[in-house]
């Protein structure tokens, strides 16, 4: 199955997807840590909300999008100058 995925997507697309997924995972961990920290009033604000799923969704969505873009962009920028013919 992994071989099929490698053949289906070009190398650059796989690089972006892997970077994006790693960044989204890191963003989810940061959002969960922000909610779980004892000294943070963010967890209390979300818990006392009448519909706590809305701020939770916005927090996780924002963090995951930010970290995913950062991670994918960093992965792309680190490959500049590494062509098939070596570094420029």
Q: pLDDT tens, 42-54?
A: 888 998 999 999 9
Single pTM value for the model: 0.76
84, part of any domain: no
85, part of any domain: no
If you count them, how many residues does the chain have?
Answer: 88
pLDDT digit string, tens, across residues 53-82: 999 999 999 999 999 999 999 988 888 765
25 — pLDDT class (breaks 50, 70, 90): very high
Give backbone dihedrals phi and psi of 83, rounded to 5 degrees, phi first: -90, -170
For the chain, how many structural domains are there in total?
1
Within a 13 Å sphere around the CA of 16, how many CA atoms are in the beta-carbon half? 7
Question: Is it the case that residue 87 has pLDDT exceeding 80?
Answer: no
- What range does the domain containing 67 cover? 2-79
What is the DSSP-derived secondary structure letter of residue 79? T
44, part of any domain: yes
17, part of any domain: yes
50, part of any domain: yes
């Amino acid at each position: 199955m992994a071989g099929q995925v490698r053949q289906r997507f070009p190398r650059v697309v796989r690089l972006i997807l892997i970077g994006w997924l790693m960044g989204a995972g890191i963003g989810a961990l940061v959002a969960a840590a922000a909610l779980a920290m004892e000294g943070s009033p963010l967890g209390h604000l979300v818990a006392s909300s009448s519909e706590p799923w809305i701020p939770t969704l916005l927090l996780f969505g924002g963090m995951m999008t930010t970290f995913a873009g950062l991670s994918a962009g960093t992965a792309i920028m680190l490959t500049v100058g590494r062509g098939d013919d070596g570094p420029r």
